[in-house]
Amino acid sequence: MGKTLVVGAGGVSHAAVHKMAMNSDIFTEITLASRTKAKCDAIAASVKERTGVTIQTAALDAMDVAATVALIKETGAEILVNLALPYQDLKLMDACLEAGCHYLDTANYEPEDVAKFEYHWQWAYQDKFKEAGLTAILGSGFDPGVTSVFATWLKKHKLATIRQIDVLDANGGSNDQAFATNFNPEINLREVLAEARHWENGAWQVTPAMTHKVEFDFPGIGPKNMYLMYHEELESLSAHFPEIERARFWMTFGDAYIMHAKVLENVGMTRIDPVMHDGKEIIPIQFLKTLLPDPGTLAEETKGKACIGDIATGQAKDGSGEKTYYIYNICDHEECFREVGSQAVSYTTGVPAMIGAAQVLKGNWVEPGVWNMEQLDPDDFMDMLNNHGLPWQVHELDGPVSF
Ligand code: NDP
């Protein structure tokens, strides 16, 4: 159905590009471009071996708008799928506007020198995309991404309104590393060490990072400690579903992860400002990234399951009063590795990126403008989750969450 340009060749890209190649009726031609072409070539070789599909590769600095415009034109891409880092979002959106190409990403823009991710920078592109007749889809990973589609599906089929929503993200996977992050270490640590914010009664409530802990019994995993955190879908869900009184995000962390993260923070290794070292400027968190394992290389040794979903409470559509639903996916690290050579965190992000891009190429999500996932029709996306490796379940709970 369409030509696709994927930018970025890390863990998420590995999973997404394999899944695109497995759907070559939709993704008729795929080009993978990134800063380091050798990484694109390695993914292309794995795709060829696993699926028989040939993809093109190219070197690209995504901060170079002219080079991206030239590559979009050369490949004839109808959609650019941004699986690089949040720092590149705006430059890639600029390139799409100039070259006349749809855009999709999995993480919202964040300036490199301020650890603050907010949508206002990308929402400011609304009129430009509308005027150009182009579509930009923001945050088509799992969280953000599927968690917003889950909420929209509940609103379409089960709940007339959502009074409160909790997004619960559990990674029950383990590997042999003393400390490793499950996606890009720099982005992961910036996110985890940021102060916790949740939406309640029309305002952001702020608490220090990693201070609010609750034990929850996750389906397929068992009891785990989860921590209140800020996450970007809280901003878009509370903006687009204004009836929401409380929206919170929780993520599980083991004690060893928290201890390492705190020590690294205390000694200054997670600083994002430049410091002088041996007469040379370095940014500590970027140096730390160089030392930590590349999450993509941990796929083979990671075992266990991830479970991500929403618990939402609101008035039932059928008038039967207030109802609470838990909607979630369980994903097995080893099964992901067997299928595409990825661990579950890359897989649960890469598959929704493929499905979101498929929605654009199939013509389901082509309204010009800049859209978050909860603003779009969920049904075909939800069917594709079931058919492409991320089956979901929905269960009614006895009542609202007690934590
Ligand atoms: P990786 O660090 O593994 O991969 C990032 C890739 O982007 C690397 O190949 C890197 O190149 C490339 N890149 C970085 N800067 C540039 C540039 N200027 N030009 C071209 N390429 C560049 O990250 P992940 O795969 O773990 O994560 C990818 C994205 O997915 C991130 O934005 C992350 O926040 C997001 N994410 C979203 C989730 C969700 O559920 N919504 C969950 C997990 C991640 P090089 O190899 O040369 O360094």
**229 and 306 in one domain?**
yes
Q: Is the CB of 10 under 6 A from ligand 1?
A: yes
**CA end-to-end span of the chain:** 46
189 within a domain of the structure (yes/no): yes
What range defines the domain where residue 12 resides? 2-138
Q: Is the CB of 88 under 6 A from ligand 1?
A: yes
Please give the distance, rounded to the nearest whole angstrom, from the Cα atom of residue 184 to the centre of ligand 1. 6
**307 and 244 in one domain?**
yes
* Residue 187 pLDDT: 87
> pLDDT by residue (tens digit) across 61-102?
999 999 999 999 999 999 999 999 999 999 999 999 999 999
The percent of residues above 70 in pLDDT, for the chain, comes to 100
Q: Is the CB of 378 under 6 A from ligand 1?
A: no
Task: Pick the closest to residue 44 from 33, 35, 338 (CA basis).
Answer: 33
Q: Residue 363 burial by CB count (10 A; 0-12/13-18/19+): exposed, middle or buried?
A: exposed
**67 and 206 in one domain?**
no
Backbone Cα Rg of the chain: 20
Structure tokens of 34?
């990134």
Distance CA 117, CA 109 (A): 6
- Mean pLDDT of the 37-54 span: 98
Distance CA 96, CA 356 (A): 17
Q: Is the CB of 309 under 6 A from ligand 1?
A: no
**247 and 109 in one domain?**
no
**119 and 152 in one domain?**
no
Amino acid at 251: M
**296 and 195 in one domain?**
yes
Q: Tell me the pLDDT of the chain averaged across its residues.
A: 96
CATH code at position 106: 3.40.50.720
pLDDT value at 53 more than 80: yes
Please give the distance, rounded to the nearest whole angstrom, from the Cα atom of residue 296 to the centre of ligand 1. 11
Please state, in angstroms and as integers, the Cα–Cα distance from residue 78 to each residue in 22, 246, 361, following that order.
Answer: 19, 38, 8
Distance CA 349, CA 160 (A): 28
Residue ending a domain, among 88, 104, 138, is 138
The percent of residues above 90 in pLDDT, for the chain, comes to 89
**251 and 107 in one domain?**
no
Residue ending a domain, among 138, 161, 192, is 138
Would you call 35 helix, strand, or coil by DSSP?
Answer: coil
> pLDDT by residue (tens digit) across 278-336?
999 999 999 999 999 988 888 889 999 999 999 999 999 999 999 999 999 999 999 99
**86 and 41 in one domain?**
yes
* Residue 240 pLDDT: 97
Q: Is the CB of 39 under 6 A from ligand 1?
A: yes
**100 and 68 in one domain?**
yes
* Residue 195 pLDDT: 93
Check if the beta carbon of residue 183 is closer than 8 Å to that of residue 132: no
**244 and 332 in one domain?**
yes
173 within a domain of the structure (yes/no): yes
pLDDT value at 214 more than 90: yes
CATH code at position 223: 3.30.360.10
378 within a domain of the structure (yes/no): no
- Mean pLDDT of the 379-391 span: 98
**165 and 54 in one domain?**
no
Nearest-CA residue for ligand 1 atom 2 is 184
Would you call 306 helix, strand, or coil by DSSP?
Answer: strand
208 within a domain of the structure (yes/no): yes
97 within a domain of the structure (yes/no): yes
| Higher-pLDDT residue of 55, 181 | 55
pLDDT value at 7 more than 90: yes
* Residue 204 pLDDT: 97
Q: Which residues are paired to 310 by β-bridges?
A: 167, 327
Give how many domains the chain has, as a whole number.
2
Residue ending a domain, among 113, 138, 163, is 138
> pLDDT by residue (tens digit) across 221-239?
999 999 999 999 999 999 9
What ligand 1 atom has the least distance to the C-alpha of 144? Answer: 41
200 within a domain of the structure (yes/no): yes
> pLDDT by residue (tens digit) across 108-166?
998 888 777 789 999 999 999 999 999 999 999 999 999 999 999 999 999 999 999 99
* Residue 190 pLDDT: 87
What ligand 1 atom has the least distance to the C-alpha of 146? Answer: 40
* Residue 101 pLDDT: 98
242 within a domain of the structure (yes/no): yes
**123 and 67 in one domain?**
yes
What ligand 1 atom has the least distance to the C-alpha of 140? Answer: 41
